[in-house]
């Protein structure tokens, strides 16, 4: 089996694949510093609770945007799963061509999302990932990664709102159902939710205009992407497993 791992700024997401089938997934936080033994034991314990043995894992592929944990994390995988993980980076075969000023600067999570969207839905395509940061990336019909936009994620904006004001409380991020709110909590929810939708719609339209590609499919992923995608016509597809599937596709390309 293949264990695909997406190491983000907030969470580490795991997906266990049996050939091309995603059979289980789980998530842990990255906010707590851990040793290699702690990472290894945590992964093994969760696998066993889900009914799988650590020995079932034959290969591991990782995309990470958090370099500082990678030594402990990969060491834990090697010691407890007996695997040398493939870490997506420069030199990894992806099937798409990156045409930016410095391709090495593009985060591996963005590349993995772009590969997944292009392989599954075709091009041209815009990929929007509502993670810790919100990213918008464009891939052409012939598989060229043209570049994109990085903006603060919804949770970053929310944390800035209540951490830098004296009287605004910490709130649940959700769709309030209306824009003109009559109390503080729903006013904040409206600003965060509809502000994100407004940003998304504007950026997507501008990307289409600047690229000259009007007939572009838009696919979204990320934790809060579902409620955004459900409330705008600019996004056609929401795919919660886009990154994990992209890792599996990239792994298969390395084998070939």
| Angle of the 242-255 helix axis to the 108-121 helix axis, nearest 10 | 90
Of the candidates 159, 165, 157, 160, which has an alpha carbon nearest to the alpha carbon of residue 197? 157
Of the CA atoms within 13 Å of residue 170, those in its CB half-sphere come to 4
Question: Burial of 142 by CB count in 10 Å (0-12 exposed, 13-18 middle, 19+ buried)?
Answer: exposed
Strands (E), 68-110: 86-87, 97-98
Of the CA atoms within 13 Å of residue 41, those in its CB half-sphere come to 5
Task: Tell me if 235 sits within 8 A of 219, measured CB to CB.
Answer: yes
CB atoms under 10 Å from CB of 214, counted, come to: 9
Residue 105 backbone class (left: φ over 0; alpha: ψ -120 to 50; beta: rest): alpha
Active-site entry in 6, 109, 113, 239: 109
Of the candidates 136, 132, 131, 92, which has an alpha carbon nearest to the alpha carbon of residue 117? 136
Of the candidates 101, 55, 61, which has an alpha carbon nearest to the alpha carbon of residue 81? 55
91: Cα separation from own chain's centroid: 21
Phi first, then psi, for residue 101 (nearest 5°) are -60, -40
The answer to whether 109 is a known catalytic residue is yes
Q: Which residues are catalytic?
A: 109
């Amino acid at each position: 089996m293949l264990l695909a791992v997406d190491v983000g700024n907030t969470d580490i997401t795991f997906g266990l694949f049996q050939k091309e089938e995603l059979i289980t997934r789980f998530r842990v936080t990255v906010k707590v510093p851990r040793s290699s033994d702690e990472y290894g034991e945590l992964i093994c314990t969760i696998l066993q609770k889900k009914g799988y043995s650590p020995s079932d894992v034959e290969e591991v592929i990782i995309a990470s945007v958090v370099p500082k944990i990678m030594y402990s994390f990969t060491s834990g995988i090697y010691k407890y799963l007996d695997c040398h993980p493939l870490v997506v980076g420069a030199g990894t075969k992806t099937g798409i061509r990156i045409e930016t000023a410095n391709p090495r600067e593009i985060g591996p999570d963005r590349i993995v999302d772009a590969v997944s969207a292009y392989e599954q839905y075709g091009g041209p395509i815009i990929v929007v990932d509502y993670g810790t940061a919100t990213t918008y990336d464009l891939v052409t019909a012939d598989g060229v990664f043209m570049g994109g936009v990085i903006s603060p994620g919804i949770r970053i904006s929310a944390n800035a709102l209540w951490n830098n004001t004296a009287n605004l409380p910490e709130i649940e991020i959700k769709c309030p159902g209306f824009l003109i709110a009559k109390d503080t909590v729903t006013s904040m929810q409206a600003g965060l939710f509809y502000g994100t939708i407004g940003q998304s719609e504007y950026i997507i339209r501008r990307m289409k205009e600047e690229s000259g590609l009007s007939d572009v499919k838009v696919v979204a992923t990320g934790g809060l992407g579902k409620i955004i995608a459900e409330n705008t016509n600019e996004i056609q597809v929401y795919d919660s497993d886009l990154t994990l599937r992209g890792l599996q596709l990239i792994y298969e390309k390395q084998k070939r």
